[in-house]
Amino acid sequence: MTNKYRNYNQSYTSPNYDPKKHTLVYALGGLGEIGKNMYCFEHDDEIIIVDAGVKFPDDDLLGIDYVIPDYTHLIKNKDKIKALIITHGHEDHIGGIPFLLLSCTIDKIYAPRFAKALIEKKLSEKRRLSKTKIIEINGDSSIQTKHFRIGFFNTIHSIPDSLGILINTPNGRIVETGDFKFDLTPIGRNADYQKMAYIGASGVTLLMSDSTNSEVEGFSISEKRVAQMIREIFKKTKGRLLVSTFASNVDRLSQILNCAYENGRRVVVFGRSMQNVVEIGLKLKTIDIDENAFIDPELINTLPADKLCIVCTGSQGETLAALSRIANGTHKYVKIIPGDTVVLSSNPVPGNAINVSGIINQLTRCGATVLENTTLSSLHTTGHASQEEQKLMLQLIKPKFFMPMHGEYKMLKMHAETAQETGIPEENCFVMANGDALVLSDGEVYRANTRIQTDAIYVDGNDISGLSTSVIKDRKILADNGMVAVVVCIDSRNNKILCRPGIVSRGFVFIKESQTLLKEAEMLVYDALKAAMKQRVTFGDLKNTIRNTLEPYLYRKTNRNPIVIPVILNHRDAMRKKEN
């Protein structure tokens, strides 16, 4: 075998793949995208799943609440699933658990302390799932199955109790970092540098590492520096303070609450996710603050402006979040008044910049001073490793093969290039897509000749089964082109059309200005149906005749493709219904 076959720009098929002998590694989500992280490790009759996340939909996915991985492969192999292991408690790693449990029975979920509390809160809202056994793990835990031996090491992220995973398989050792960064002056627990170095010295076959910030040079700034800036703002600000950040950034949230208390400000928390995290943080002592620091929302107007701090969700400009409602004047308890200071302790995630800018403008228009993160203010730091931190992880683990994960394609590719700078040969780096599989065989890694089904599943409201892509396509067509309904009255016994069809349009053209177009369309359909009904036809034939006649005509006249909905009313009773 020559090295060129393992180049990530080529496809290499492992010879004689044997499921009983070899180990398979694949992702059902998290590659080529940000979100719905789900990575699987399969050997013979066992599957280990790491993380089960969701992805939040883009603006063009109308009416969709979540995007989740396709669980078809896991459903087909549900008897093989031995464990679901969670690296940390962010929604893109735990949000899919309720949907997964409704599809597959999983006896045990292993999760670190804070993630366990968040999962229990999530599953308690689903009565059928609340009995699922969740086992707490930490950096010293271990899990043993027939084919896998799994250990853990502490990492630093923007949520407490984040873990990296060491998976010992019959064909080599795999390290999956989870989301991580390196912070040499952390707030809270430090990373297990010594354990990572020991794992690396012991030999690692494959490293799978977080790629989110692979385009960012250098080291990310320390959380302690952000805390210092927030503390200065609290000391200088005289009026009311409103602070918005990611609800899941517990260390940041703890610093904000403590700064408020130290400066004599009482705190009120708005936003369901923020309230849940504060409740769990207080329970687990991750947030260590006197509970008397909090006040009820009804008491906001009883305090002087310099004695109040409002902590809320909405730093990403979400329409229904607390900060958006405050900015728009629709919040039940809070209205912006001149002299308020709003602190956005976050960066807009890709795609949210316009929404965040809109919120900032509205808050400023109402008289507030808005402070946001800049290179000078340092009001936010990332929870993901930048290039130098990625290099440090690669140097500590010293893998033979490398697979970047958790990122869009460009991020994965740049992370692979970073790995090559640290000495990993290009042919040993695998830039994969969801559903692509790697084969581990006797300490070597190859691309598999198999591919796993990985279509995205769209979750709409209470429909946890997911919507088909055809429904999403219809919604997009309705949004862009509208719809045209064609009402036809027929007598099926005599195989006759009783009158000229009627056409109703919504969201397609302005009816008053398009009467000629619609009348011509009615005549075209009428003539086509009369020709078709010279012989016996089915209702399906009639509907196809309507669509095949009308769709090309409308596109030719308007350059638009509305959804055409045929409505066929049968027999003379239909005439009366049409008249009514």
Separation of alpha carbons 554 and 561, rounded Å: 7
Residue 247, pLDDT > 70, answer yes
pLDDT in tens, 253-310: 999 999 999 999 999 999 999 999 999 999 999 998 988 899 999 999 899 999 999 9
Element (H, E) at 259: helix 250-262
Which H, E and C letters describe 409-478, residue by residue? HHHHHHHHHHHHHCCCCHHHECCCCCCEEEEEECCEEEEEEEECCCCCEEEECCEEEEECHHHHHHHHHH
Separation of alpha carbons 482 and 13, rounded Å: 47
**pTM score, whole prediction:** 0.80
Element (H, E) at 274: helix 272-284
Q: What is the mean pLDDT of residues 98-104?
A: 90
Hey, what's the torsion of the CAs at 329, 331, 336, 342, to 10 degrees? Answer: -120
Q: What is the mean pLDDT of residues 82-95?
A: 96
Of 149-158, 198-207, 564-573, minimum mean pLDDT range? 564-573
Would you call 102 helix, strand, or coil by DSSP?
helix
Residue 574, pLDDT > 60, answer no
Q: What is the mean pLDDT of residues 324-348?
A: 92
pLDDT band at 8 (very low <50, low <70, confident <90, very high): very low
Separation of alpha carbons 416 and 431, rounded Å: 7
Where do the domains of the chain lie, and which CATH numbers do they carry? 18-218+382-461 (3.60.15.10), 223-372 (3.40.50.10710), 469-579 (3.10.20.580)
Residue 13: predicted pLDDT: 46
Residue 535: predicted pLDDT: 87
Q: Looking at the annotation, which residues are catalytic?
A: 210, 384
For residues 575 and 513, which has the higher predicted lDDT (pLDDT)? Answer: 513
Mean pLDDT for the chain?
88
Task: Locate 479 and state its tokens.
Answer: 């949004």
Residue 51, pLDDT > 90, answer yes
